[in-house]
Amino acid sequence: MRFNRADREVFGVGTLVFALLAMMFAFIALVTAGQAYSRSNDTNARVTKLESGGLLGNSAKVTLEEFTITPHPALVKSGAVTFDVENVGSVTHEMVIVRAASLSALPKVTKKGERSVGAVNEEAIREADKIGETGDVPARTHVTKTFNLTPGTYVLFCNIDTANGDGTVLNHFKQGMSATLTVI
Ligand SMILES: [Cu+2]
């Protein structure tokens, strides 16, 4: 293949641009890999330290009442995590666990229907993010459940509606029954 002068110039510039781009991508890849490496080392060091101090384990106690849900501790180790969920309140509650970056990331009900407006729209949560739930936990009882959790942030909530007696309902999530749980 022969190039005339103009073609050669274009070819030369193109090659140079391509080479620079390739170098740039290689550099970015290197930096990203470096960050990922140091981050996982930091996390590993943190896990080891917390474990040695007895501060990190594969279980949590969760207290339910009107209208709070509180995990102790709120930081657990990934793997099979056992939750002992105790209802110390006077009405039935539940614990639903969903993988979500934050409370605001949960889809909410926007139209009145089976669930009240502002409740968590559980049907709109991606199947892969739905970890599980205790089912009803009557007042003064407790339920133990184990879920397999990978590292990340999870939201625990109670989405039960209590009838007010005048046709309206009180949604527990809207009253504040939610908390985040970090898994490392
Ligand atoms: Cu509740």
In this predicted model, what pLDDT tens digit does every residue of 72-88 receive, in sequence order? 999 999 999 999 999 99
Sheet holding 96-99, edge to edge: 75-76, 178-183, 152-157, 96-99, 130-133
Identify which of 46, 63, 43, 55 has the alpha carbon closest to the alpha carbon of residue 140.
63
CA of 19 to the centre of ligand 1 (A): 60
Those residues with Cβ within 8 angstroms of residue 138's Cβ, 6 or more apart along the chain or in another chain: 87, 92
Q: Is the pLDDT of residue 15 over 60?
A: no
CA of 161 to the centre of ligand 1 (A): 8
Cα four-point dihedral sign 69, 73, 76, 80: negative
CA of 66 to the centre of ligand 1 (A): 7
Q: Is the pLDDT of residue 128 over 80?
A: yes
pLDDT (tens digit, 9 = 90+) per residue, 88-127? 999 999 999 999 999 999 999 999 887 889 999 999 999 9
Q: Is the pLDDT of residue 158 over 50?
A: yes
Q: How confident is the model at residue 30 (pLDDT cuts 50, 70, 90)?
A: very low
Q: What's the CA gap between 176 and 184, in Å, rounded?
A: 25
CA of 22 to the centre of ligand 1 (A): 55
CA of 142 to the centre of ligand 1 (A): 13
pLDDT in the model for residue 168 = 84
Q: What's the CA gap between 177 and 87, in Å, rounded?
A: 12
CA of 71 to the centre of ligand 1 (A): 14
